[in-house]
Copies of this chain bind each other. A is one copy, B any other.
Amino acid sequence: MSNHVETILIIGIGMIGASIGLAAKQKGLKVYGYDLCESNIKVALNEKIIHEGLESLDQISQEPISNDIDLIIISVPPKQTLDVLNNLYDIWNTEITITETCSVKNHIQLDNVSNIILSHPIAGSDKSGPSAADANLFFNKKNIICNPFKAEKNHVEKVENFWKDALQMRTELMSVSEHDLIFAMTSHLPHLIAFALIDSIRLANTKVGDNAGGGLKEFIRLSGSNPEMWRDIFTINRVDIIKALAGMQVSINNLLELITETKEIPEMLSHQDMLKDELEEIKTFKEDKF
């Protein structure tokens, strides 16, 4: 079995799937596409994002398609991803490699399968649908690879090669538990916070009108992402998100204690200087860290 990818099938031609298809097609790969929603397939064909659309997933295990496809990439919301992986049971443990693109992984639990690898290409947008495809969305970005089912080396290499060669991404191997905790802090919690902030303004009696200056615009952008995907992420990764939120509540309380002067202040320092030091420290950490 070669670990080189010439032909892919994308299941789920939303913004992410279509961006992967477009980049792969521009690199000379053959791209099949499938979507429950027929109009997404039509758009993808019209906009030359895919070469060919499948009418049903049954075609995958039938010739000539079954001989043609090297790699299947599933790009649907997290809960549907598990359903699709189960529906592909007929091609488990074949030479076709299967991967997916969810931002959360711990719900993907399968037994006795050796050709499924998990991927998380780290890039996103608040846009959706195949018309929002962007061939450069993943260029030079990072892709986390998880191999919880101990897939064979050839399958792992095939997935890594695809992301590196066709999408021009960097890859990093990580365990599912490490992945889900890190992204709870760096992605899921920030989105939860953005939804909560916009919700609190929605519920407030104060009319904010068009006074959305300062920081709010970033939160507005974040809270515009696909609600179905975020519902799945929040429910699947709730344990790690609550851990991350607990850490953040400690930091909020530390800032509040400084702001309201309830913390015991060393004699030599005013609380305002302490708050400035704290903010400088956060800024310095950030500049070193990321």
Contacts and interface: CB of A to CB of B under 8 A. Distances in A.
Interface in A172-203: 181-183, 185-203
A221 B224 contact: no
Contact of A194 (B183, B199, B215, B228): B215
Contact of A215 (B191, B204, B212): B191
A213 B187 contact: yes
Contact of A200 (B234, B244, B279, B287): B244
Interface string A249-290: 011101110011000000000011001101111110111011
A248 interface: yes
A257 to B, nearest CB: 11
A219 to B, nearest CB: 6
A46 interface: no
A188 B230 CA distance: 26
A209 B235 CA distance: 25
Given A123-B213, A196-B251, A190 B218 contact: yes
Q: So how many copies of this chain end up in the complex?
A: 2
Contacts of A241: 259
A204 B185 contact: yes
A214 B186 contact: yes
Contact of A231 (B204, B208, B212, B275): B275
A245 interface: yes
A216 interface: yes
Contacts of A183: 211, 213-214
A85 interface: no
A117 to B, nearest CB: 19
Interface of A: 103, 122-124, 141-142, 144, 181-183, 185-204, 206, 208-216, 218-224, 227-228, 230-232, 234-235, 238, 241-242, 244-245, 247-248, 250-252, 254-256, 259-260, 271-272, 275-276, 278-283, 285-287, 289-290
List of 3 A-B pairs having minimum Cβ-Cβ separation, nearest first: A187-B214, A190-B215, A122-B213
28 contacts: A103-B214, A122-B213, A124-B214, A141-B213, A142-B210, A142-B213, A144-B211, A186-B208, A189-B197, A196-B248, A197-B251, A198-B286, A199-B278, A200-B244, A200-B251, A202-B282, A202-B289, A203-B247, A203-B250, A203-B251, A204-B244, A215-B222, A220-B286, A224-B283, A231-B272, A231-B276, A242-B256, A245-B252
